[in-house]
Amino acid sequence: GQNIDQPTEMTATEGAIVQINCTYQTSGFNGLFWYQQHAGEAPTFLSYNVLDGLEEKGRFSSFLSRSKGYSYLLLKELQMKDSASYLCAVRDQALGYSTLTFGKGTMLLVSP
Amino acid sequence: EADIYQTPRYLVIGTGKKITLECSQTMGHDKMYWYQQDPGMELHLIHYSYGVNSTEKGDLSSESTVSRIRTEHFPLTLESARPSHTSQYLCASSETHVEPYGYTFGSGTRLTVV
């Protein structure tokens, strides 16, 4: 099976930088995704890593270390609208199909 | 603008009723999925499809059934709703030939069974 761990909640202030960590255990790793989900809304795609290293996209960056089973999402210049749940998801092709397994999400609260 | 649509957005229904949650996408994606999400909990895969006439059960045991008669349509049916079915149901689709094969989610159906 798979196990994905991320912190339940984090708080930060507007303009700051926050790092949300995710650790995973999987037998057929084939990519890690980060999604943002505002309350009552659908998750939206933020980033994707399949090779080790850092992927940067504007204020958001995501890092992956496959050997450590570890990823983080870095949010810079935080804005109030960044208050949301951030979901780490892993794609596992060990069983011959390509579906995503999600962590429980990290609720980020950005305060003024 | 959403390219994947779920209806209804909210549904309150009595125990024992049969319900169908609708999901349609206009992106031509072959792969479609149904996830269940309780508040503060992770998304659990309950059904998926790799194309027309292809349906599989996911990791989470579910009393629901699905069908895939057309590429764009992937409805989920509960034959007899129970209070334990109260949850949010999210439909998603994904690319087959273009990396990173990420999901596009619908807005979800929040189901309450009373």
* Closest chain B CA to residue A36: B105
Q: Chain A contact for B13, CB < 8 A?
A: no
How far apart CA B72 and CA B93 sit, in angstroms, is 9
Nearest C-alpha of chain A: how many angstroms from B35? Answer: 10
Q: Tell me: the pLDDT tens digits for B73-101?
A: 999 999 999 999 999 999 999 986 666 66
pLDDT score recorded for residue B2 = 58
Is the CB of B54 inside 8 Å of chain A's CB atoms?
A: no
Average pLDDT, chain B: 91
Report the phi/psi class of residue A94: left, alpha or beta, with left for phi > 0 and alpha for psi in -120 to 50.
Answer: alpha
Residues 6+ apart with CB under 8 A from A16: A78
pLDDT in tens, A48-88: 999 999 999 899 999 999 999 999 999 999 999 999 999 99
